[in-house]
Amino acid sequence: MHIRTGDTVAVIRGDDKGVRGKVLTIDRDAGKLVVEGVNRVYKHVRRSQKNPQGGRLSKEMPVQISNVLLVCPACNQPTRTGSRVANDGTKERVCRKCGKAVGALGPTRKRAAAGK
C-alpha cells in the first residue's frame, strides 16, 4: 500500500469527489483511511458531565482506500504510484505521471540483510 499517514490525497469517488485532504489514520486490515474534512457525519450525543451541552458532533468517517489517489508533491496532480529501488538500495514510491520520488517505502535492503 503506497499511502501513508500525513500524505495528501484526492477523493475520486463518492459524495466528496474532488476534495483533497490529509490522511489522519489508516486501517490496513479493513482497507480504509480517515481523511481530514472528508465523509463527515453527525454523531448525536446525550448531555453528560463530559459533554454538558450535548447536541451534534461532526466527525470524519473512514473511506475506502480505492476511492482516493495520492497527490504528488512535485506535479500537484492526483496520481497512481509505483515503486523502484534507488541507487543506494532503498525502495521508494514514484509518481506515475512525472516520475519523481514521493518518499521511502519500507526498510532498506542493507538493513534487512544485516538483520539476518
Q: Positive or negative, the Cα torsion across 97, 8, 69, 82?
A: positive
In the chain the domains, ranked by start, together with CATH numbers, are 1-71 (2.30.30.30), 73-116 (no CATH)
Asked whether 74 and 97 are in contact (CB, 8 A), the reply is no
Q: What does the alpha-carbon distance between residue 99 and residue 72 come to, in Å, rounded to a whole number?
A: 10
pLDDT for position 2: 87
pLDDT in tens, 21-33: 999 999 999 999 9
Distance of CA 51 to the CA centre of its chain: 31
pLDDT band at residue 114 under the 50/70/90 scheme:
low
pLDDT in tens, 46-87: 999 998 998 998 999 999 999 999 999 999 999 999 999 988
Asked whether 93 and 102 are in contact (CB, 8 A), the reply is yes
Backbone angles phi, psi at 109, to 5 degrees: -70, -35
